């Protein structure tokens, strides 16, 4: 795929294409290249690593055209997409919006899928017991001791603050100061690759 930016894959959601030729899927993927949709349907996740995609988990969401019945999720069409959470305990259902291929999370401090964000990467505490990886798709993966993926979930960065929503349902936060991440009583420093 020839592009100056990484492709974005919305994976695992219920995809309503609004295109009668394509139909709908209970669980499928939408592949975005630049500002257009380049693929729709099940099975696109298998090429994620090969194509260096930014993968956004849309399980439990309905993925639809952001313009309602005026648009479709058809390859070649503009990547204007909305993902709505089917069940949500936080009182909001709109999880993310894609406008011309750019991903935002509305009404929340904005983590935008950005592989060049300065806070991305692996953060470790001084004993190397807790290791937290901030991924470019707005997800984190935290290892503790010999337990890989002890905690996983989503995060949003607004200035020097980071907010976490763990997959278990709890919220937490941290702050970045002078190259150090302060979170839950820990001091993390970024591990250089």
| Domains of the chain as residue ranges with CATH | 8-104 (2.30.40.10), 121-190 (2.40.128.290)
Residue 23: predicted pLDDT: 93
Span 112-131, average pLDDT: 84
With 60 as the cut, is the pLDDT of residue 82 above it? yes
Angstrom distance (rounded) from CA 168 to CA 155: 13
Predicted confidence at residue 193, as pLDDT, reads 63
CB of 97 closer than 8 Å to CB of 106: yes
Q: How far is CA 3 from CA 7, 11, 172, in A?
A: 8, 20, 36
Q: Who contacts 150 (Cβ-Cβ below 8 Å, separation ≥6)? A: 142, 143, 144
Least confident of 18-22, 41-45, 152-156: 152-156
Q: How many residues in total does the chain contain?
A: 193
End-to-end CA separation in angstroms for the chain: 26
Distance CA 95, CA 79 (A): 16
Per-residue pLDDT, 147:
95
Rounded to whole angstroms, the Cα distance separating 72 from 15 reads: 11
Q: List residues bridging with 169 in a β-sheet.
A: none
- Please tell me the distance from the alpha carbon of residue 169 to that of residue 54, in angstroms, as a whole number: 23
Q: Which of 167, 170, 143, 172 is nearest to 153 (CA)?
A: 167
Question: With pLDDT > 70 as the criterion, what percentage of the chain qualifies?
Answer: 84
- Quick one: pLDDT at residue 107? 46
For residue 29 the two structure tokens come to: 């993927």
**Cβ atoms within 10 Å of 137's Cβ, excluding its own:** 18
pTM passes above 0.75: no
């Amino acid at each position: 795929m020839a592009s100056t930016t990484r492709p974005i894959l919305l994976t695992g959601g219920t995809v309503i294409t609004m295109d009668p030729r394509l139909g709908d899927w209970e669980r499928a993927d939408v592949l975005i290249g630049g500002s257009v949709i380049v693929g729709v349907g099940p099975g696109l996740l298998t090429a994620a690593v090969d194509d260096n995609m930014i993968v956004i988990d849309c399980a439990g969401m309905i993925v639809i055209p952001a313009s309602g019945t005026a648009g479709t999720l058809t390859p070649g069409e503009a990547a204007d997409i909305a993902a709505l959470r089917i069940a949500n305990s936080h009182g909001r259902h709109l999880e993310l919006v894609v406008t011309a291929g750019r991903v935002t999370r509305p009404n929340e401090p904005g983590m935008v899928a950005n592989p060049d964000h300065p806070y991305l990467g692996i953060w470790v505490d001084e004993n190397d017991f807790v290791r937290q990886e901030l991924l470019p798709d707005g997800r984190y993966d935290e290892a503790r001791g010999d337990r890989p993926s002890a905690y996983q979930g989503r995060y949003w960065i607004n200035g020097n603050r980071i907010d976490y929503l763990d997959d278990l349902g709890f919220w937490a936060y941290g702050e970045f100061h002078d190259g150090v991440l302060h979170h839950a009583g820990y001091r993390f420093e970024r591990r250089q690759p």
